[in-house]
């Protein structure tokens, strides 16, 4: 009897209390007013075509055949050599370079009582006759064998036309030294295979070689 009474008090599992509750509750209607938003899209211009930029090759290092017959080797260590005297080289930007060679040096002896000079250098021997100045020193004007006139002033400057050099006395009153600065200003071609340049002695060109031989 007790079991029967318990069963009467338990509601039927077929009835869904949740479903009945949902049915009893009405969902309120919600009205939503949406205001349209205008979006302004700014037109973006097409990218302009990029103009090609010239690319310069840094091909100065290597072997060069100078137009005067010299073979110049430009090394990565910052020095160039012409076979007998190295000189430092530097870049000056925009395919411009400079080589500072050692001075070209001549030894001069005075003869014939100071009226004649005998000059010896790397290129051979030449001479000149005194035009002015005391015969006991080097100062004065000299008519050289090649027809040019050289001027040696008392401050140690030695000039032949536009060429600028210096002179100094060596041991002995009849021995002197003339020094010519030699600096090459160079422009490398854009393809890196040729160059042009100038120093105080004139202009030159060069072409690159695969070998320094």
DSSP 17-31: HHHHHHHHSPPPP--
Does one domain contain both 127 and 67? no
∠ CA(26), CA(31), CA(34), 5° rounding? 150
Is residue 159 one of the residues assigned to a domain?
Answer: yes
Shared domain for 89 and 117, answered yes or no, is no
Same domain? 107 vs 90:
no
Residue 176 domain-assigned (yes or no): yes
Structure tokens at 58: 């840094």
Structure tokens belonging to residue 93: 């930007």
Q: Are residues 108 and 140 in the same domain?
A: yes
Q: In terms of DSSP bridges, do strands 140-144 and 79-81 run parallel, antiparallel, or are they unpaired?
A: unpaired
- The residues near 151 (Cβ < 8 Å, ≥ 6 apart) are 140, 141, 142, 157, 158, 159, 160
Q: Is residue 116 part of a domain?
A: yes
Tokens at 61, concatenated: 């290092």
Question: Which residue range(s) make up the domain with 148?
Answer: 103-181
The radius of gyration of the chain's CA atoms, rounded to the nearest angstrom, is 47
Does 112 share its domain with 159?
A: yes
Q: Is residue 42 part of a domain?
A: no
| Beta strand spans in 116-189 (E) | 116-121, 124-132, 140-144, 149-152, 157-160, 163-169, 175-188
> Are 203 and 157 part of one and the same domain?
no
What is the distance between the alpha carbons of residues 194 and 38, in angstroms, rounded to a whole number? Answer: 65
In a shared domain, residues 93 and 194:
yes
Check whether residue 67 and residue 119 sit in a common domain: no
Is 162 inside any structural domain? Answer: yes
pTM here is: 0.68
Domain annotation covers residue 127:
yes
Has residue 195 been placed in a domain?
Answer: yes
Hey, what are 89's tokens?
């080289």
Owner of token pair 């899209």:
41
User: Residues 69, 115: one domain?
Assistant: no
My answer on whether 111 and 171 are in the same domain is: yes
Judge contact between 183 and 165, C-beta under 8 A. Answer: no
Q: Are 147 and 95 contained in the same domain?
A: no
What's the number of domains the chain is made of? 2
pLDDT in tens, the chain (213 residues): 444 443 443 333 344 443 443 444 454 454 545 444 443 434 444 444 444 444 444 589 999 999 999 999 999 999 999 888 899 999 999 999 999 999 999 999 999 999 999 999 988 999 999 999 998 899 999 999 999 999 999 999 999 999 999 999 987 678 999 999 999 999 999 999 999 999 999 999 999 999 887
- Rounded to whole angstroms, the Cα distance separating 191 from 156 reads 44
Cβ-Cβ contacts under 8 Å for 41 (sequence gap 6 or more): none
């Amino acid at each position: 009897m007790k079991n029967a009474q318990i069963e009467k008090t338990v509601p039927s599992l077929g009835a869904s209390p949740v479903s009945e509750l949902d049915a009893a509750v009405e969902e309120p209607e919600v009205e939503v007013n949406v205001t349209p938003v205008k979006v302004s899209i700014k037109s973006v211009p097409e990218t302009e075509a990029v103009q090609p930029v010239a690319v310069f090759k840094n091909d100065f290092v290597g072997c060069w055949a100078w137009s005067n017959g010299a073979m110049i080797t430009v090394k990565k260590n910052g020095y160039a050599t012409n076979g007998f005297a190295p000189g430092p080289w530097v870049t000056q930007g925009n395919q411009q370079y400079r080589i500072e060679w050692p001075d070209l040096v001549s030894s001069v002896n005075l003869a014939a009582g100071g009226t004649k000079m005998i000059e010896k250098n790397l290129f051979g021997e030449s001479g000149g006759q005194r035009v002015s100045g005391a015969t006991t020193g080097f100062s004065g004007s000299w008519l050289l064998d090649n027809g040019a006139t050289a001027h040696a002033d008392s401050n140690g400057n030695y000039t032949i036309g536009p060429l600028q050099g210096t002179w100094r006395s060596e041991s002995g009153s009849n021995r002197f030294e003339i020094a010519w600065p030699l600096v090459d200003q160079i422009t490398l071609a854009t393809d890196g295979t040729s160059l042009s340049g100038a120093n105080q002695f004139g202009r030159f060109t060069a072409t690159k070689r695969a070998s320094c031989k």
